[in-house]
Structure 1
Amino acid sequence: MTVSILRRAGHSLLVVILVSVTAVGLLSLAPGSVATVILGENATPAAVAAMNTELGLDQPLWRQYGNWLGRALGGDLGTSPLTGQDVTQAILDRLPVTLELSLLALTLSVSLAVLLAVLSAAAPGIWLDRVINAVSSAFLAVPAFIAGPVLIYLFALKAGWFPVSGWAHIEDGLGANLRSALLPALAVSLTEIASFHRLLRTDLIGTLREDYVAAARAKGMPRGYVMFRHALRPSSFSLVTLAGISLGRLIGGTVVVEILFGLPGLGQLVSASITARDVITVQGVVVFVAVTYVVVNMLVDISYGFLDPRVRKAARA
């Protein structure tokens, strides 16, 4: 077991390094530098060169990355040359917004998907199942950058139920906080709802045809009890896997929504840093998201044993 965990940790570290290398390589292809942003467009080439030397940007790219990686492995993600702020602190300042948005979107996605999948699988092929499938297909075809403006127009501008933009912290009141978070979370979760529903519906229909489910029904157990007690748990393997992957994706994929709704999260931070060629901050955010992604996937693997006793028995064997 220990060897397996160490092997997985080694693979995860390799993934994180490759992701950070890719981010640095892509940013190096963009024109301009952070020195130009700091000094302004009218700065002389000599001034830009001096600033690059001061920031260490005149060194080869591989050496810059090696120096940063050595510090990062020790827990130091560096300091932004543009703002002078510690990158770790910048991430921690923005993280609550992105994390709440991602967790709320995931909660909405799983809750609505389970409800829709149960309704569909209870009687597949009837009118209700067809309507739910049609709605699911529509959600799947609407990305966040389209869903966001539509939701803003309908529920913020027209109905006035939610603010158009901005973020209310929990300290300002739970109600105000949820009002500012619910609409962007819904914009992010629409495609996830559709994916989760389709996956769980298929698994539920297959599980409901198993012999042990037929035996439970033959004993006169209520349909709802059979569905939630005997069918839903073993059918949720794929859902848990996809939900875990989606959480990592949501944390790193809220950039568009945070910009649309004016939310001060990691998406805004990385977007501004890319525009300003702030490679140090971008590397830090990318590494943080990658680490979160691999850790969540490890936790998903561990959760299998709690969902199905057969996995625990196989692990002991």
Structure 2
Amino acid sequence: MKNLKWLASLKRIGRALLVIVLATFLVRMLMSLAPGSIAEGMLGENATPEAIAKFNEKWGLDAPPWQQYLTWLRGAVVGDLGESPLTGQSVMEAILERLPVTLELAFLGLGIALAVAIPFALICATWPGRGIDRALSSLSSVFLAVPAFIAGPVLIYVLAVQLRLFPVLGWNPLSEGLAANLQTAFIPALSIAFVEIAAFHRLLRADLISTLSEDYIAAARAKGMGGVYVMLRHALRPSSFSLVTVLGITLGALAGGTVVVETLFGLPGLGQLIVQSIMTRDVTMVMGAVTFAAVMYVGINTMVDVSYSFLDPRVRRRAAA
């Protein structure tokens, strides 16, 4: 049995590594299809062929794309993601500089979404089909129909321009104080939260309604347990599988770069770094950022798998069997 567990773990690690390799390889091949080159961008349109050839030779850009990828992969395996030919900055250094912005937006946005979606789902599951259920479900549908690139400008106009509660643009890091930081982070995070509120609410509502029809819930109620206690103690945790799964996928995607929101608000995060690097054909920076995003995505979803055993004891018993 232990050998089977080890085999399952090795398969999971193998799949994760395969995902990362395929993602980075596809990105490198797609970048090679884009017109222009980083040498032309750096040296200008009037650069001589000799200068371009010398630049490409210095940075290894004169080799075929697949060979460039293998060279990059050998370094990435030992943690060396290279440095940008455009700026000379270490790729890992650039990522770590911008990562706090992206992580803060991701966690704050998902925190807002969960703070709204969980109470919505609990209320709707308690009175399914009633007026309050229909009202909250309709509101959830409105959130679902408002993506971040629409929610962002609307929130800026209402909260920043009209009510003047928040600055229109800009970013204050945490080093300048929590209050100043949240002033610039709240509207972008709320833009992220809109769609996620709808997704989390609908998933949890459906699972709660299904769980509340189980026999053990009826037995708990027959013992005289209160409705709120039964909902929170016996129904919520086993109903959270789908929510946790989607939360992990969403967090992994957002941690890899909140591209739309960061570009819309001009925030110095990982998503904007990727966009800028693609626009300037900085292949090394794009490869490093994509690798980091893929590792984050795979790692977070692996932690989600592990969390299942804590949400439902039945999973631990099956794993131990």
SS of the residue aligned with 1:198? Answer: helix
- TM score, norm. by length of structure 1: 0.98
- Please tell me whether the aligned partners of residues 116 and 197 of structure 1 are also in contact (alpha carbons under 8 angstroms): yes
Show the counterpart of 1:257: 261
Report the identity percentage.
59
In 1: Cα distance, 2:271 partner to 2:214 partner: 45
Show the counterpart of 1:143: 147
Of 129, 132, 137, the match for 1:133: 137
Show the counterpart of 2:221: 217
Please tell me whether residue 22 in structure 1 is matched to residue 26 in structure 2. yes
In 2: Cα distance, 1:72 partner to 1:172 partner: 34
Q: After TM superposition, give the deviation of residue 170 of structure 1 in Å.
A: 1.2
Show the counterpart of 2:92: 88
Of 179, 184, 187, the match for 2:188: 184
1:194-227 Cα shifts (integer Å, max 9, x gaps): 1111000000001111111112222222211111
User: In the comparison of the two structures, how many residue pairs are matched?
Assistant: 317
Matches within 5 A, 1:1-317: 1-317=5-321
SS of the residue aligned with 2:34? Answer: coil
In 2: Cα distance, 1:114 partner to 1:47 partner: 60
- Please tell me whether the aligned partners of residues 110 and 243 of structure 1 are also in contact (alpha carbons under 8 angstroms): no
In 1: Cα distance, 2:120 partner to 2:47 partner: 59
**1:32 is matched by which residue type in structure 2?**
G
1:52-79 Cα shifts (integer Å, max 9, x gaps): 2222111111111000000000100000
In 2: Cα distance, 1:22 partner to 1:80 partner: 20
- Please tell me whether the aligned partners of residues 155 and 162 of structure 1 are also in contact (alpha carbons under 8 angstroms): yes
1:213-245 Cα shifts (integer Å, max 9, x gaps): 112222222211111111101100111111011
In 2: Cα distance, 1:301 partner to 1:246 partner: 14
- Please tell me whether the aligned partners of residues 204 and 235 of structure 1 are also in contact (alpha carbons under 8 angstroms): yes
**1:96 is matched by which residue type in structure 2?**
P
- Please tell me whether the aligned partners of residues 167 and 184 of structure 2 are also in contact (alpha carbons under 8 angstroms): yes
**2:48 is matched by which residue type in structure 1?**
T
Q: After TM superposition, give the deviation of residue 258 of structure 1 in Å.
A: 0.6
In 1: Cα distance, 2:145 partner to 2:114 partner: 18
In 2: Cα distance, 1:130 partner to 1:199 partner: 15
Q: After TM superposition, give the deviation of residue 117 of structure 1 in Å.
A: 0.4
Q: After TM superposition, give the deviation of residue 43 of structure 1 in Å.
A: 2.0
In 2: Cα distance, 1:216 partner to 1:288 partner: 47
More displaced 10-residue stretch of structure 1: 76-85 or 3-12: 3-12
Q: After TM superposition, give the deviation of residue 291 of structure 1 in Å.
A: 0.6
More displaced 10-residue stretch of structure 1: 245-254 or 303-312: 245-254
In 1: Cα distance, 2:257 partner to 2:101 partner: 13
Q: After TM superposition, give the deviation of residue 253 of structure 1 in Å.
A: 4.6
More displaced 10-residue stretch of structure 1: 3-12 or 231-240: 3-12
- TM score, norm. by length of structure 2: 0.96
SS of the residue aligned with 2:207? Answer: helix
1:146-183 Cα shifts (integer Å, max 9, x gaps): 11111111111111111111111111111111121111
* Unpaired stretches in structure 2, ≥5 consecutive residues: none
